Amino acid sequence: MVIVLTSLASLKADDRPVTFAQLPMAAQTFINANYPDDKVSFATVDDDVFRPDYHVALAGGVMIQFNHDGSLEKIETRSGNIPDGIIPVQIVEAVKGYYPDAKILEYEVGRRSYEVKLSNRIELKFNTRFNVIEIDN
């Protein structure tokens, strides 16, 4: 039992700081294209050997999570100013249709779904065809 617990503890993924240049190229391109005037406050990578995740905080208050190849996993903002083109237009239009006064504060890409958290505290989950499949409040 002690050996198993020790082995599991050694596999624990710890975050370590990285520079902008150490991010995957896709992540660098994403940040440069969508936030050209914002600076990276800090960036970290978890030490998962197989599929490390990267976390980036921008000076403007945006938090972005990328997977091991630099693909977007999640983006969060307090202001609701996520640039056009990041969130699929079908999701943006659905949110405007259901909740015209709400802003999208979080967008998360899953394997078989997308999730958004809105300024009115509603959470919407969409399938890959952009149909709402779950609403949480």
Give the type of residue at 79.
S
Q: Is 70 exposed, middle or buried (0-12, 13-18, 19+ CB in 10 A)?
A: middle
Give the model's confidence band at 22: pLDDT under 50 very low, under 70 low, under 90 confident, else very high: very high
- Model pLDDT for residues 38-82, shown as the tens digit of each residue: 999 999 999 887 889 999 999 999 999 999 999 999 999 998 889
Print burial letters for 110-136: b (CB count within 10 Å at least 16), e (below 16).
eeeebbbbbeeeeebbbeeeeeeeeee
pTM comes to 0.86
pLDDT of residue 137: 85
Question: Looking at residue 73, what is its pLDDT?
Answer: 98
Indicate the residue type of 99: Y
Q: What is the pLDDT of residues 76-126, one digit of tens each?
A: 999 888 998 999 999 999 999 999 999 999 999 999 999 999 999 999 999
Amino acid at 30: F
Q: What is the mean pLDDT of residues 4-10?
A: 42
Amino acid occupying residue 78? R
